[in-house]
Amino acid sequence: MDLIVLRDRVLSDRSPRSAFWFCNGTVRRNIYEPASTMKGLNGWSFRNHIDSDNDKNGFAEWIAEVLGDEELGQILKNVVEQGRLYDIYNDKWV
């Protein structure tokens, strides 16, 4: 990914329409903001976005489709443990 695309797609703020809306009402607009929210989610809230059967992972989809980090999206797609998801995400972006 070239640096201009990286800046425009991954690092910049998304519009409210493209932001990630956590079920607790928190809105995150860029790659840096979700880490603090993700770490503090209770189990129910986490499972609302990522289920243990791997049927959905809204966070991985948002990273791949909206932010354009398809590599990280693919890695997170199969992660269902909250702490592990946070660690992988945090190691790359925070």
Written as tens digits, the pLDDT of the chain (94 aa) is 565 666 666 677 888 898 999 888 889 888 777 877 888 889 898 888 888 776 889 989 998 988 888 898 999 998 989 899 889 988 887 6
52 found inside a domain: yes
Phi, psi of 30 (to 5 degrees): -145, 180
14 found inside a domain: no
pTM of the entire predicted model: 0.80
11 found inside a domain: no
83 found inside a domain: yes
Q: Cβ contacts of residue 77 below 8 Å, gap of 6+?
A: 54, 57, 60, 61, 64
